[in-house]
Amino acid sequence: MEERYEIRGKIGQGGMGSVFRAYDTRMNREVAIKRIQQEGDPALQQATSHQMVKEAAALALLQHPHIVTVYDVGSDEDGPYVVMELISGHTLDELIERAPLTWPDFRELALQTQEALIAAQELNLVHRDLKPGNLMLTWLPSGRFQVKIVDFGLAHLAGATALDHLENAEAVYGSIFFMCPEHFERARLDLRSDMYSMGCVYYNALAGMYPFNGETGLEVMTAHLHHQIIPLQDLRPDIPQWACDWVMWHLNRLNTDRPQNARESLKVFLQNAHVGASATRAKLAQAATGRIQIPSNPGAAAPGAAMLEPPRTQTAPLPLLPPEGSKPSVHASPPPPPPPVAAPAAPVAPRLAPAPKSASVPHAPGHVPAHVPQHAPLVAPKRRQLSQQARIGIKIAVALVMALVALVVYLKTPSPQMVALTRLLDAAASEDAKNVPDGQKELSVTKDSLEMLLKATSTPGVTKTPARVYLALRYAKPAPGSELDVDAMMVAFILKQFTNDRCDKPLLEVLRKRRNQAVAPPLLEFCRITANTQAALAVIQVCRSLAAEEDFAKFIDIIDFTGNPTIRQATEDAAATILKKSSHRLSLGIKVSNSHATATHAEVKYALIRLLGCVGGGKAAATVTAALAATDPDEQLAAAVALASWPDDTMFERLINYLDTLTNAPSRALVFDACVRFVASPNPTRSPENNLKLWDLLANNAKSPAEITQLARARAASKK
């Protein structure tokens, strides 16, 4: 690196390399320098560095207030580097972790990011790695936030991430949650790929959760490719329906169904925002494949504004405010009241007035002799006495001051309960506790002290260190000789919160980390009967990793009983995770088969058919084969998804035969994609010869150029 730049410290480490704070001695300014991490044969890195620098230089042409400016590019013995504008602020993922965005803040985020993408797309630049961590928010002097997109085009310079590296979601620094399906298929990325990733960012910003989630990288890929997503409107009924549909439009599985570029996306947003100012837009049609269709002009407005429900996210949305110590935002302040309007004066009838007299010069007054009073004796003035009311008022004021002083003294004196709470929190965060391994940490509590800790989680301002409260609850153990059931008491407190439409996500996370499987049954029973979507989703996420196999039947009961499609989908995903990890799939599958045989609701039957694919075996094969031959196309599609999840290769040929019968393009694309992922997924029981046969069988059924290309890329990636 040139001597022009003085490295002054490391800012962070990302998926594409390290970022350093530096000083540009020539321009006398602080800058950020990113070292691009290169992969592959070291002998080829020097040859590719020159091309990287050449391509990165094109990024310097991109000048926009919402895109981080690239000042310089270069390469030295340590590889290529990019010199960029240094920004002081927060990444969007840091702000989302605090709370989801409010509708006004999201509207500003959408407008600024789409403006930035329009500028980049005018130069035919594709970001390829849009995610909340690559959106920086800084605050202007007025208090308004400004979005800056970072790392534009650098993902391409650093090289694509191999599919085997995507097995671990943390290995790609969260990018996998925002990658488009084409990325996993090794297809060409274009402007529509960025629109999908930005849609994932928008969903995450509003819902506080990933649109496509999973415990492993493979599960996240499956969620993207199968379009397993909870509709945004189910989580944020407090924002306009058209805005939810606009976000979901970006998340369509096929790129032809998404906005073709940012210009089209912003145009539709502004058109609908204008219509939505006075009325809520009619809900857009959603096809069975999950495709959201957005017309080129705003739809007809509903007759009257709809009453919006409160959000169902796990954390209540909060406005984005400037950092502590900044001046208050003028944008966040309420508008000043309008000036009073004077009432018009009553009209006065015209009347004749006498002509004015001639003006005359006023005369100075003559000298008037002063009157000399007679001498009188001097009398001292009488002293005014305080009235009875005044004396009473003074006494009351003095009494109030004394009471106020006593109150201040009382408030400054901690109560015995606060002293006990402080001791517990200090013990949980002490240096001695930090040196004890997690599995051995214990904090002795009584029933009273546990109640005090639980109440502290729902009482704002009771402590300045709320994180310590959850830490204390995590390590809470009954005092010696006590029969206190700490986990049961925590579950009862959580369920009581749910009845009041509250959901304490950190407290549920504490319960998960305590790893007591006994808490799963009462929580799952709550999910079976509740209509509280927010609470049920949070509980299911905890129970999918906490529940034992003997609790599996309760997941199936939720699928069979709940009338909430969002809760049903989340429960199905959790049940599939348990089945895939279990060594007793066939015995667990008996409950799935029995429930399928008695199910009367179509969506319940489809969910149970898909789960049978994770079970395998002869009984499940008979049920899935019958569903594949049904006249209901949705039931057939559920059966195809089941075959693509089969534990072994025995049903693959049947899946290929079904693929050959499909004429509907979206359905064929989904099934072909499932076939590719089935063959490409590692299977320790499959021999290399059988693996080759499966690839050849699939190749013989690839018809379109897109399918042939997708197959070739997947096959090449599987050999790495």
Pick from 73-77, 434-438, 515-519: least confident = 434-438
- Given a cut of 60, is residue 636 above it in pLDDT? yes
pLDDT at 389: 73
pLDDT at 215: 78
Residues contacting 630, CB < 8 A, separation 6+: 636, 639
For 669-695, give the secondary structure using H, E and C: HHHHHHHHHHHHCCCCCCCHHHHHHHH
Give, as one character, the DSSP assignment of residue 89: S
Report d(CA 704, CA 672) in Å as an integer. Answer: 11
Helix (H, G, I), strand (E, B) or coil at 58: helix
pLDDT at 268: 94
Residue range 571-622, pLDDT digits in tens: 999 999 899 888 899 999 999 999 999 999 999 999 999 999 999 999 999 9
- Given a cut of 50, is residue 338 above it in pLDDT? no
Mean pLDDT (whole number) for 436-447: 71
Give, as one character, the DSSP assignment of residue 258: S
Helix (H, G, I), strand (E, B) or coil at 506: helix
Are 99 and 141 contacting, i.e. CB atoms less than 8 angstroms apart?
no
Q: What's CA 518's distance to the chain center, in Å?
A: 30
pLDDT at 108: 95
pLDDT at 579: 92
Longest dimension (CA), the chain: 139
Mean pLDDT (whole number) for 140-155: 82
Considering the domain delimited by 90-275, tell me its CATH architecture. Orthogonal Bundle (1.10)
The percentage of residues in the chain with a pLDDT greater than 90, rounded to a whole number, is: 32
Sign for the pseudo-dihedral over CA of 126, 128, 132, 138 = negative
Q: In terms of pTM, does the model score above 0.75? A: no
- Given a cut of 70, is residue 112 above it in pLDDT? yes
What element of type H or E holds 29? strand 29-36
If pLDDT is split at 50, 70 and 90, which confidence band does 300 have?
very low
Helix (H, G, I), strand (E, B) or coil at 571: helix
If pLDDT is split at 50, 70 and 90, which confidence band does 411 have?
low
pLDDT at 358: 40
Mean pLDDT (whole number) for 157-162: 46
pLDDT at 15: 57
Mean pLDDT (whole number) for 363-373: 42
Tokens representing 15?
Answer: 């998926």
- Residue 550 CB neighbours (<10 A): 11
- Residue with more model confidence, 72 or 592: 592
Report d(CA 671, CA 662) in Å as an integer. Answer: 9
pLDDT at 364: 42
Backbone angles phi, psi at 693, to 5 degrees: -65, -40
Mean pLDDT across the chain: 78
Choose among 280, 279, 194: nearest CA to 244: 280
- Given a cut of 80, is residue 499 above it in pLDDT? no
- Residue 397 CB neighbours (<10 A): 10
What element of type H or E holds 73? strand 70-76
Report d(CA 489, CA 450) in Å as an integer. Answer: 8
- Given a cut of 70, is residue 527 above it in pLDDT? yes
Mean pLDDT (whole number) for 8-29: 83
Tokens representing 19?
Answer: 């970022």
Tokens representing 483?
Answer: 């029969």
If pLDDT is split at 50, 70 and 90, which confidence band does 116 have?
very high
Q: Is 226 exposed, middle or buried (0-12, 13-18, 19+ CB in 10 A)?
A: buried
Mean pLDDT (whole number) for 77-106: 89
- Residue with more model confidence, 535 or 390: 535
Q: In the chain, where does the domain assigned CATH 3.30.200.20 lie?
A: 5-85
- Residue 234 CB neighbours (<10 A): 18
Q: In the chain, where does the domain assigned CATH 1.10.510.10 lie?
A: 90-275
pLDDT at 379: 46
- Residue with more model confidence, 166 or 578: 578
Report the number of secondary-structure helices (H) and strands (E) in the chain: 29, 10
pLDDT at 368: 40
Are 255 and 180 contacting, i.e. CB atoms less than 8 angstroms apart?
yes
- Residue with more model confidence, 377 or 603: 603
| Helix spans in 251-334 (H) | 262-276
Residues contacting 678, CB < 8 A, separation 6+: 644, 646, 652, 655
* β-pair partners for 101: 318
CATH assignment, 5-85: 3.30.200.20
pLDDT at 277: 43
Residue range 181-227, pLDDT digits in tens: 988 887 888 999 999 999 999 999 999 999 998 877 778 888 898 88
Mean pLDDT (whole number) for 379-390: 59
Q: What's CA 335's distance to the chain center, in Å?
A: 30
pLDDT at 380: 46
For 115-184, give the secondary structure using H, E and C: HHHHHHHHCCCCCCCCCHHHEEEEECCCCCEEEEECCCCHHHHHCCCCHHHHHCHHHHCCHHHHCCHHHH
pLDDT at 145: 92
Is beta strand 476-478 parallel, antiparallel or unpaired with respect to 145-149? unpaired
